[in-house]
Amino acid sequence: MFLKSQLSWNISIPPEELHLDELMLKKSIYVPLLAEFVKRRPQKRGEVLRGVVHKIYKHGILLRWGPLENVFISNKTMPSYCYVPGENPIFMSDTSKIEKDVEVHFVLIGQRSEEDTKEFRAVGGLEGDFLGPM
C-alpha cells in the first residue's frame, strides 16, 4: 500500500536552456518534467486504477493515486455504499466498507490539469465489476 508515489526518470536539458536566473532555471527543469508526466499519466477514460483513501466526506471520498493527491469519487458513483458518520466516517455496503487508508480499485472518469496552479485533478467511480476496496 502506498500513500505517495515517487516517480523518477531522466530528462535531458540542453545547456543553452539552463539559466542563472532562479525562476528561469526552475522553468527549464519543470516544463520537461511536466511534459514527461503528461505522457505517462493515464490517458483514457474507463482505465481501472488503484488508490488509497485519505479523506472521507458525506458527498464522497478523496484518494491518492500515484502523483495525484486528490482523486474525487462521488457518493453518486458508489450506488451500493451508504455514508456512516462519526469520528472516523466510513462508507458501508452489505459486503465491504471504505475507510481511511484502505486501498480501492476505481475507474477513471475524467481528468484535467490546472494551468495556473500546475495541478492535475481527476474524478473516478466505483460503478462496475471488481471495483471497490481490496
Has residue 117 been placed in a domain?
yes
Do 28 and 55 fall within a single domain?
no
Q: What is the pLDDT of residues 22-75, one digit of tens each?
A: 777 777 777 777 777 666 655 567 888 899 999 999 999 999 987 778 899 999
Has residue 1 been placed in a domain?
no
Do 56 and 104 fall within a single domain?
yes
Do 35 and 52 fall within a single domain?
no
Do 85 and 35 fall within a single domain?
no
Statement: residue 84 has pLDDT above 90 = yes
- So what's the pLDDT on residue 112? 78
77 close to 63: Cβ distance less than 8 angstroms: no
Structural domain harbouring 71: 48-133
Domain count of the chain?
2
9 close to 36: Cβ distance less than 8 angstroms: yes
**Which CATH number is 64's domain given?**
2.40.50.140
57 close to 42: Cβ distance less than 8 angstroms: no
Q: In the structure, what pLDDT confidence band is assigned to residue 2 with cuts at 50, 70 and 90?
A: very low
Do 97 and 68 fall within a single domain?
yes
